[in-house]
């Protein structure tokens, strides 16, 4: 039993010391998630060039599609969505582009957004059977 205030302070210091040692051990033993995450990839020269052309001429559908294609090739699905969405703003009837937007959202785990685009593809009377099959395959995975 604690006899005086000095014993209380001593006990408190021991407890704090134990907590500090435990904290240090946990930090040293715990996995470092920050180090296990992949480092951001530097865009290739082709991707950077496609981005600059797409940015300089937002109305240029071909430039937007080239940039999206480069971004997809680098696994940068988030960067690919914006130019594809921009293409749809200029021409919302492009089922192949709408399918790609749906796929990008699927790959980004934005399944609600993916569903919207993929359902538009399968209900589009002008979309060919191959596009509809791909749309159905992604909808089945969700």
Give the model confidence (pLDDT) of 4-14 as tens digits. Answer: 666 665 665 56
CA–CA separation, 131 and 54 (whole Å): 26
**116 in a structural domain:** yes
Specify the higher pLDDT residue, 56 or 15: 56
CATH number at residue 90: 1.25.40.10
Helix (H, G, I), strand (E, B) or coil at 70: helix
Cβ-contact 123, 133 below 8 angstroms: no
In terms of pLDDT, which residue wins out, 38 or 44? 44
The structure tokens listed for 114 are: 């993916």
**Using an 8 Å Cβ cutoff, are 54 and 60 in contact?**
yes
Tens-digit pLDDT profile for residues 118-130: 999 999 999 999 9
Domain count, the chain: 1
User: 22 in a domain, yes or no?
Assistant: no
Q: What is the pTM of this model?
A: 0.64
């Amino acid at each position: 039993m604690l006899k005086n205030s000095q014993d209380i302070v001593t006990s408190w210091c021991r407890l704090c010391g134990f907590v500090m040692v435990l904290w240090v051990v946990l930090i040293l033993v715990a996995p470092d998630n920050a180090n296990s995450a992949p480092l951001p990839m530097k865009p290739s020269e082709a991707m950077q060039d496609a981005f600059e052309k797409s940015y300089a001429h937002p109305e240029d559908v071909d430039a937007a599609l080239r940039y999206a294609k480069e971004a997809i090739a680098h696994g940068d699905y988030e960067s690919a969505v914006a130019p594809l969405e921009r293409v749809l703003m200029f021409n919302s009837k492009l089922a192949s582009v709408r399918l790609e937007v749906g796929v990008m959202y699927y790959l980004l785990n934005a399944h609600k957004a993916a569903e919207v685009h993929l359902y538009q593809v399968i209900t589009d009377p002008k979309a060919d059977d191959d596009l509809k099959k791909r749309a159905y395959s992604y909808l089945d995975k969700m």
